[in-house]
A and B are shown apart, each in its own frame.
Chain A
């Protein structure tokens, strides 16, 4: 039974985090572009905080087949795990999009795991590095690891399974070579990490100009 988070980010903080992540994936996109050879667009429309059970349920509802995830763990002032999750069918499509389609099918299948790992690595690093930079902290981030399974299986494989584990849940949309591929990013953090994150974000907001009010504010 999932309970609601006792601790969560407020609207401005979520807004700030969304902006961070968007910047992060945009950087990743520009990184990918050099490999792909044609325009890559990445967008994260929304960020939500929720329990990991709810996150697993959400994914389970939306995706009926098997999933594949690229997982990286991080520790430092905030610790946890970050995952880029795709429906398995999409993964081959993604790899094909990135490798350009000139490869024969068997080669794609053989290289799929590696290509997926690197792609995930690029995107996740994009997010994590941006977060670290903006928060003016360094994190110790691991190399990528591939996990297959259902939503709950994937979440279970991530080491953090504490009751208070919070999940930063994002939908991510790829646009590569006229293909639209959708996936999810989930960042799992324990309570202390979340507290620290909140504090760090708060300071970032301050730095970004919390004290100056515009002459005409938007809603």
Chain B
């Protein structure tokens, strides 16, 4: 074929080092250059006008066909690279080696559509690259391929891009199956894998191998230990993981663990119990050397002495013991060292909060070591001491209260007696001043009597304070009782009726009369307290003869006795109370009321006097205390306590004053004063008789009344009743106590005067009141 070649470029077509083929619009070969002839072994002459599929039968490449077609019809340029096509054409080098080539298909400009196919030989470059890579990776490849451990290379999506032979064995998948698989799917424990993966992707290292359970292709589990690292190629990041088969190790570990488990379990249980006791006990526990240095201590000890573990371990038992007990501790330790036995002792220790705690220790020395257990008894000891102190205090206060009660009553008595004395003297003075010398002895006598009664009271007081000394004298009890009448009445108060049943021919008894008075007073007070709502008190005396048997019962010698009994109508006492009634401090009264001393003192005195005291009681009926005293055959001392008080009544043509008071001396006193003043005086000794006066014909202008009256009507009640009869009646209450509660609310026309008062005061008051209309 002739070709015109004005430019001389045609030579280039055959000179170039690449294959050139020109195709026409029908895809038939137009030109075939020298290079192609050499590479294919086909001459251009036989190929012109033929299709490629014909020239290379069985090697049809759809891509090539499309490329050529598109180039001719649409003008596209295409490449076919060796990366995707093993061999587009069958090409060989001069020495017969296969040529690795790339193909480019381009449209050729010109009047007729033509297509150029370029074939480039890239064998050398490809081989060189492979060689380079091979050498670079030779060692790596050798290692990786021959490694017994599975090696996987993963991309950033954890898809496997590389798996060595060991990996295929480990997992049971072929390399092709593994390629592209997401590695996480190969492992059971996703969390462990995920965490490791996160660490690797963040650029950090895995600090230690990760244990994973791999799932093989046949579904079995395999224990592997993974170490992995991240590396870069250009801009791409990869992770290579080496997975070591640790199934053997795992099995061994399991077996060992199982064995240990059973063994440890039993040991642990026992140890746990002991540990628990050591840890949880509130008692302190120590193990110490025999010189007191602590080897071990339980938490309770450390909490007590407030030491941290380190200090506690190094300390000694004596560190917390105050100086005053150090020698005691020393002695204890010495004894333990010597005897190597058991010891119990108490020690004080300075606790963490600074307080001193008393620990009761139980220690044993054995094996050159001291084992000690201690209990904090501080609270117990303190409680004991507190109890003792409380008892002391109670005794003290009870004593004070007893004194208080007695002094109250006594002061009241003194009050009255003083009133009697001073009143009498005043009247005396008045009479003498008036030169009325008749009847003066009456006033003198009254004063003397009051004085001597005061003296007696003083004696009684003195005797009380000097309780221990008894001054027995032959005494007529009846007389004593009668003499005490006033006192008793006053003590009992207006709500209690007093009856006496005195044996007329009572024998005398050798007894300290003061003490006997005390005793009687005590019994009366008790009786009164047993009848808060009021009742009846009976004092009885009798002669009693005790035969041997009865005497033995009473624990007294047989013989004749005089009996003094005080009976009340109170609530009575049950058995157990009766039993303990004579015990010191025993009282059934609420705290603060009553002393509890009384009966024991009575008992003591009676026994001292050779007699006996007994209690009889019935619940709901009352109680009776009987004192038995040996009868004395001799003269009884007489004391003259006769009182003789009369009543004065004068009818005068002036205001009438009604005086109501159970105390005769008071009535007399006030009466005298009033008469001096020119008033008419009426007297009554209790509310009932006072009322009778008021109900009588005579007019009453002023009622002067004591508040406390016997017989059921007190002064206030009398006043109210009187006012009902005499609305214009004036009332003056006189009282020794601040009996405001009994007086109540003072209505207009009511007045109060407290004892003791002077005659002047009384007179002034009365005149003031009566002058009010």
Contact = CB atoms under 8 A, between A and B. Distances in A.
Interface of A: 31, 34-35, 66, 72, 74, 76, 88-89, 92-93, 96, 98-99, 101-102, 104-111, 114-115, 117-119, 121-122, 125, 128-130, 132-133, 138-144, 148, 177, 179
A35 B85 contact: yes
B153 interface: yes
A117 B79 contact: yes
Contact of B84 (A35, A72, A101, A143): A35
A13 B85 CA distance: 38
Given A96-B179, A105-B161, A142 B62 contact: no
A108 B161 CA distance: 9
B235 A88 contact: yes
A147 to B, nearest CB: 14
Interface in B508-557: none
Contacts, number: 116
A105 B180 contact: no
A114 B133 contact: no
7 contacts: A102-B175, A104-B162, A111-B82, A115-B81, A117-B81, A118-B84, A143-B78
Interface string B172-184: 0001100110000
B740 interface: no
Q: Which 4 A-B pairs have the closest CB atoms?
A: A129-B74, A111-B83, A132-B74, A101-B179
A136 to B, nearest CB: 10
A121 B161 contact: no
Contact of A144 (B79, B107, B159): B79
B236 interface: yes
Nearest to A134: B74
A76 B176 contact: no
B70 A129 contact: yes
A105 B236 CA distance: 12
Given A35-B84, A117-B81, A102 B76 contact: no
B84 A98 contact: yes
Given A89-B156, A105-B153, A76 B75 contact: yes
Contacts of A108: 161
Contacts of A132: 73-76
Interface in B147-178: 153, 155-157, 159, 161-162, 175-176
Chain B interface residue bracket vs A: 35 or more
B81 A139 contact: no
A99 B78 contact: no
Which one of A119, A129, A140 has the greatest number of beta carbons of chain B within 10 Å? A129
Contacts of A139: 74-76
A142 B79 CA distance: 10
B76 A129 contact: yes
Contact of B66 (A31, A76, A107): A31
A97 to B, nearest CB: 8
B244 interface: no
B741 interface: no
B63 A133 contact: no
Given A114-B82, A140-B107, A143-B79, 16 more contacts: A31-B63, A35-B85, A89-B155, A89-B157, A96-B161, A98-B84, A108-B161, A109-B236, A121-B77, A125-B78, A128-B76, A132-B75, A139-B75, A143-B77, A143-B78, A143-B106
Contacts of B85: 35
Contacts of B102: 114
Contacts of A72: 77
B62 to A, nearest CB: 5
Contacts of B73: 129, 132-133, 138
Contact of A114 (B62, B83, B107, B234): B83
Nearest to B102: A114
B162 A105 contact: yes
A141 B81 contact: no
A104 B180 CA distance: 12
B83 A115 contact: yes
A129 B66 CA distance: 10
Contact of A128 (B74, B133, B179): B74
Nearest to A27: B66
Contacts of B107: 138, 140
A122 B233 CA distance: 27
A60 to B, nearest CB: 17
A85 B252 CA distance: 55
A141 B74 contact: yes
B233 A121 contact: no
A19 to B, nearest CB: 17
A180 B287 CA distance: 75
B137 interface: yes
B21 interface: no
Contacts of A130: 74
A118 B67 CA distance: 11
A185 B188 CA distance: 40
A142 B76 CA distance: 7
B229 interface: no
Given A34-B63, A111-B83, A66 B77 contact: no
Given A92-B155, A132-B75, A99 B83 contact: yes
Which one of A93, A117, A122, A125 has the greatest number of beta carbons of chain B within 10 Å? A125
Contacts of B161: 92, 96, 105, 108
A142 B82 contact: no
A141 B84 contact: no
Interface string B305-334: 000000000000000000000000000000
A141 B77 contact: yes
Nearest to A113: B83
B70 A118 contact: no
Contacts of B129: 110
B79 A118 contact: yes
Contacts of B162: 104-105
Nearest to A116: B83
A96 B712 CA distance: 128
Interface string B30-62: 000000000000000000000000000000001
A10 B66 CA distance: 32
Interface string B730-755: 00000000000000000000000000
Contact of A118 (B74, B81, B155, B176): B81
Nearest to B109: A140
Given A31-B62, A118-B83, A138 B106 contact: no
B78 A121 contact: yes
B451 interface: no
Nearest to B72: A138
A104 B106 CA distance: 32
Contacts of A105: 153, 161-162, 238
B63 A122 contact: yes
A125 B82 CA distance: 19
Contacts of A98: 84
Contacts of B238: 105
Nearest to A68: B235
A204 B176 CA distance: 47
B761 to A, nearest CB: 116
